[in-house]
Amino acid sequence: MGNDQARLYLLDGVAHIAGVINEEPQRCIRSMRRQQGMRLDDRYVPYLQMADEALVSAFVERWRPKTHTFHMPFGECTITLQDVAYQLGLPVDGRYVSGCLSEFHIYIEGGRPAWVWFQELLGVIPPPSQVQKYAVNCSWFQETFGECPEDADDDTVRRYARAYIMMLLGTQLFADKSGNRIHIRWLPPAGYEELSWPLASRWSGYNPSGSEKGPRVQKWRLRIDRLQDREFIWMPYSSPDVLQVVHPEVLEPRHMALWRSVTALIYFAVIEWHQIDRVLLQFGGVQPPPHPALNIDFLMSKDGRGGDRWFPSTLQKWHLLWDSRQDCVLRFDVVADPEPSHAFLDWWSQHGKRFLSLETQLGDPRAVPIPVEASQRGPG
């Protein structure tokens, strides 16, 4: 393995948070209390289902965009189409959501015109001077939804929360390079409260500790560092109580087969790589040392501007990969007790950055041998 690949797994690049973790041990992501001039009103919180920022930070430190996986002390794990099916209750097989952004309205439920859908969700239509094709000026959102009235009823709060979520999606998570407009294709996700999320809803009452976030992220970091592969639940959806709350459609064979497909996930110009060959343990397989990671950095610069572009042509290779998704389904032996193979653990101990906590908080990890029973998990 060359130097570039070695650096990939060591996470020592200056652009990755793990490279400076010792200089900023209490670094923690912060919720956007005010983003793009819109204050996060406490009344929006039930619609946002806020996460434990310290725990999220501890996992962000372990996320590697190059491999699309979390780097854990004992290997890699990631979010898969299986998680989408179980957590959100969504079937995953079907045509890609793509085409031309100027025609995105064909995906709106019931085939309603885009601006009708916009008014139903937000209760108001921006004036023509604030709209460029299907993109609305951020300044209009700031002026219209900047402060929720104190005496607002539930419907009004819901509309303001939807606007806030749209701004969060369009300016923080999936921003384009203009920086001052938001495309209204983010409208359908903003109406999420009408969906039923079978497993994700179990976390709706979770309320993380209000203590200082810096020390808590250090605590979570150390807990993850000390986590053993036998303590990690690789297949959390196998229990009967989980199966009872999932809609039967998402468990149809054509959907379940795609959980194991190495393919492209597409939303217009947004392309992500479903790289489950690196996380066979999540599907009951034995994990060998993985192949070199696919570099799709250049796709991260595609922001969807230019609403008349036909993305199935401009990004044809990735759309064809989704079209051939059934041909990319991995086939491997499923074992009763999936764990990393001896070959993988040996490779990971040499190439992975397994521990992020300060050395003073950890014992010498080199003294922890690879378990003997790992040699019985296949040659890798």
Say what the pLDDT of residue 134 is: 81
Q: According to the model, what pLDDT value does residue 65 have?
A: 80
Q: How confident is the model at residue 2 (pLDDT cuts 50, 70, 90)?
A: very low
pLDDT at 317: 93
Q: Given pLDDT bands bounded at 50, 70 and 90, which one contains residue 3?
A: very low
pLDDT at 213: 63
pLDDT of 50:
45
pLDDT in tens, 149-182: 999 998 998 898 888 888 877 777 666 666 688 8
CA angle 269, 271, 275 (to 5 degrees): 175
Residue 296 has pLDDT above 90, yes or no: no
| Predicted local confidence at residue 15, as pLDDT | 59
| Mean pLDDT value across residues 110-116 | 76
**Between 210 and 186, whose confidence is greater?**
186
Mean pLDDT of the chain: 79
- Considering only 49-53, 175-179, 209-213, 358-362, which range has the smallest mean pLDDT? 49-53
Report the alpha-carbon distance of residue 250 to residue 333 in Å, rounded: 23
Worst-scoring range by mean pLDDT, 167-171, 277-281, 342-346?
167-171
By percentage, how much of the chain surpasses pLDDT 90?
28
Binned at pLDDT 50, 70 and 90, residue 108 comes out as low
Q: What pLDDT is stored for residue 99 in this prediction?
A: 81
How high is the pLDDT of residue 34? 44
Q: What is the pLDDT of residues 190-226, one digit of tens each?
A: 455 555 566 665 555 555 555 566 688 888 999 999 9
**Which pLDDT tens digit goes with each residue over 226-245?**
998 888 989 988 888 887 87
